Amino acid sequence: MAVEIFWGSGSPFAWSVMLAMEVKGVPYTGHLLSFSDGDLKKPEFLAMNPRGKVPVVKDGDFTIAESNAILVWLEAKAPQPALFGSNPEDTGTIWRAVLEHAAYFQHHTHAISGAVFYKKMEEKAEEVKASAKAVGEELARYEAALEKGDWLVGSAMSAADLVAYPHFELFFRLAARPEVKAFGLGFDKGWDAYPALSAWRARIKALPGYDNTYPPHWKG
């Protein structure tokens, strides 16, 4: 039986997992859930993940939530191509990049996206500006890293790339909204302000199966 993925359109965490499935060539059946219809809070979903968050993966009787945990499970199930390195040094460095992204990038973009989606930009202006500054500093780090190599860690694509990429797409999409531009957070040029990141983005977009993972509600 194919692996089942419960996901939501535009969830960067679910997108990372789906990209990893595609890259590893693991067949999966997707179950697209609706945030607005409350699918993630229905008893049958909460039985799989009491936190009511996507992604969740089911493989027969085994169920697992948390995107990074899913990636590690997937790596053990389908080791090639390796996403967590093939020697101790690469594995440690990839994990460092994955954890740094969670610790220093995601919660800042989360603060900004929360303010945008809940229309609280004015109310949370200080927090939004502080987070935008932190995001800018982190993007400069990523740009510098990608000026030195094609991938975030070492010479091959890894979990570090697949974890970070969807969050960048989501952030630049948010930054392009008129109400965010009006706030003058400094990201009006979007990806174009980051040539090395843009070249990396093109490499990710060229991955096999990429189109199957693109958020459907962003299309067209």
Residues engaged in binding ligand GSH (CB under 6 A):
8, 11-13, 40, 52-55, 66-68
Single-letter residue type at 15: W
Take residue 63 and report the two structure tokens written for it: 């169920």
Smallest distance, ligand GSH to C-beta of residue 41, A = 7
Q: Do β-strands 56-59 and 3-8 pair in parallel, antiparallel, or remain unpaired?
A: antiparallel
Within 8 A by CB and 6+ apart from 19, the residues are: 162, 165, 166, 204, 207, 209, 210, 213
Using the minimum distance from each CB to ligand GSH, give the nearer residue, 35 or 192.
35
Using the minimum distance from each CB to ligand GSH, give the nearer residue, 8 or 85.
8
Task: Round to whole Å and give the CA distance between 168 and 135.
Answer: 10
Smallest distance, ligand GSH to C-beta of residue 67, A = 4
Using the minimum distance from each CB to ligand GSH, give the nearer residue, 39 or 150.
39
Within 8 A by CB and 6+ apart from 189, the residues are: none
Smallest distance, ligand GSH to C-beta of residue 29, A = 19
User: Three-state DSSP class for 122?
Assistant: coil
Using the minimum distance from each CB to ligand GSH, give the nearer residue, 17 or 153.
17
Give the C-alpha distances (Å, rounded to integers) separating 151 from 21, 54, 73, 179, 197.
Answer: 19, 26, 22, 33, 10
Smallest distance, ligand GSH to C-beta of residue 30, A = 15
Using the minimum distance from each CB to ligand GSH, give the nearer residue, 62 or 199.
62
Using the minimum distance from each CB to ligand GSH, give the nearer residue, 102 or 176.
102
Smallest distance, ligand GSH to C-beta of residue 128, A = 19
Take residue 174 and report the two structure tokens written for it: 């948010």
Smallest distance, ligand GSH to C-beta of residue 106, A = 9
